[in-house]
Amino acid sequence: MSDRITNVPDADIETAATAETTETAATAATTEPPAHTPHPAYDALIIGAGAAGLSTALVLGRARRRVLVVDGGEPRNAPAAQMHGFLSRDGMPPAGFLAVGRAEIARYGVEILTGHVDDIVPRGRLDPHDTGTDPEFAVYLAGGPVLTTRHVVVATGLRDDLPDLPGLRDRWGIDVLHCPYCHGYEVRDRPLGVLATQPHSVEHALLVRQWSPDTVYFAHGTDPSPADRERLAARGIRIEDGEVKRIVADGGRLRGVELADGRVVPRTAVFAGPAFEPHDGLLDAVDCVRNPDGWVAVDPSGRTSVPGVWAAGNAVDPRAQVITAAAHGSAIAAALNHDLVTADVTRAVAEARTASLPPFGPRPVLT
């Protein structure tokens, strides 16, 4: 891996159309700074422009910080036509929501770069007990550019590892769903299915039943316990014990669930729980501590165990909805800016003391 600090091509960067940001931190220098630059290009470099990253960027931009957002362009909810449950934005297309967010952060001079971050390398001192010391990182982008920043925010989301069943992936986010809070209302009172994919799938079915009395639980080769069978039956949830062969769709809509015995159980929508694979490799790269459940540990303000590294949204919390991911991001911005203010004050005091020292001159003659 190269240790060079390079510039980002101008064409890749979207910036605010304001005169004061025409020369940005990423585009200002045309020569390579030294390997250890004392003044990183950015106060905060945010990886991921979903709800979490954009929300962090908005608050930091408004705090007049130099901010770059790098995004790979694969938000988790892209397959869905609508986003629900975000107060004041209910029903908005996910892409439209992100476009509004991008326009808002651009107003404050935040730069957005399309790209993939490959690695984060600490370059400054990382003393967790010294809040007056600025951390510093080199952020490596795929394809070459290396950028420097005081703080890094990892808002990279997660990947839904879908059950391996023919026809299922094609309908994901359309009528094969996971979260009933996101899309249950749109299929209320319709014939619904819940596919057993995980140990807690029975709980999933009991939850989905809240949206429709016609709910079928597809055990798919599993054997629910007598207690679970009793609970499902008590709520009027029929159990299909056979193995599921495939999800059947035609004419652009889901038709039903085909069992191994050849029967097709007509359904309008099927709920199936994926395994969550957080995009947290960058947090491993800087040795962030993990919780016993395996997810990277963050405090309520999004601070990881590594000074200067923050994480928000689905990258560290599979339960985060769009509105809560945005809230995580906002909380990070305030705490991160506070750390920057503390470091700025420490540096200013040191500089003021140095400036007030008498200049070197001839030693006084002692008599």
What is the contact surface with ligand FAD in residues (CB under 6 A)? 47-53, 70-77, 79-80, 83-86, 116-117, 155-157, 160, 173, 179, 182, 279, 313-315, 320-323, 325
Nearest distance, CB of residue 73 and ligand FAD, angstroms? 5
Separation CA 124–CA 62 (nearest Å): 26
Check: CB of residue 325 under 8 Å from CB of residue 313: yes
Check: CB of residue 307 under 8 Å from CB of residue 291: no
Nearest distance, CB of residue 81 and ligand FAD, angstroms? 9
65, two tokens: 């910080």
Check: CB of residue 364 under 8 Å from CB of residue 90: no
Q: Which is nearer to ligand FAD, 24 or 56 (CB)?
A: 56
Nearest distance, CB of residue 140 and ligand FAD, angstroms? 10
| CA distance from start to end of the chain | 62
Q: Which is nearer to ligand FAD, 155 or 244 (CB)?
A: 155
C-alpha torsion 188→193→194→197, nearest 10: -140
110, two tokens: 């935040």
Nearest distance, CB of residue 207 and ligand FAD, angstroms? 15
Q: Which is nearer to ligand FAD, 16 or 176 (CB)?
A: 176
Separation CA 227–CA 337 (nearest Å): 52
Nearest in space to 59 (alpha carbons), one of 323, 343, 327: 327
Phi, psi of 335 (to 5 degrees): -70, -40
Q: Which is nearer to ligand FAD, 253 or 347 (CB)?
A: 253
Q: Which is nearer to ligand FAD, 88 or 354 (CB)?
A: 88
Separation CA 273–CA 196 (nearest Å): 8
Q: Which is nearer to ligand FAD, 69 or 259 (CB)?
A: 69
Helix axes 226-234, 201-208, angle to 10 degrees: 10
Q: Which is nearer to ligand FAD, 33 or 85 (CB)?
A: 85
Task: Tell me the three state secondary structure of residue 121.
Answer: strand
Nearest distance, CB of residue 250 and ligand FAD, angstroms? 21
Nearest distance, CB of residue 78 and ligand FAD, angstroms? 8
Phi, psi of 99 (to 5 degrees): -65, -40
Q: Which is nearer to ligand FAD, 116 or 229 (CB)?
A: 116
Check: CB of residue 268 under 8 Å from CB of residue 192: yes
Nearest distance, CB of residue 60 and ligand FAD, angstroms? 15
Nearest distance, CB of residue 326 and ligand FAD, angstroms? 8
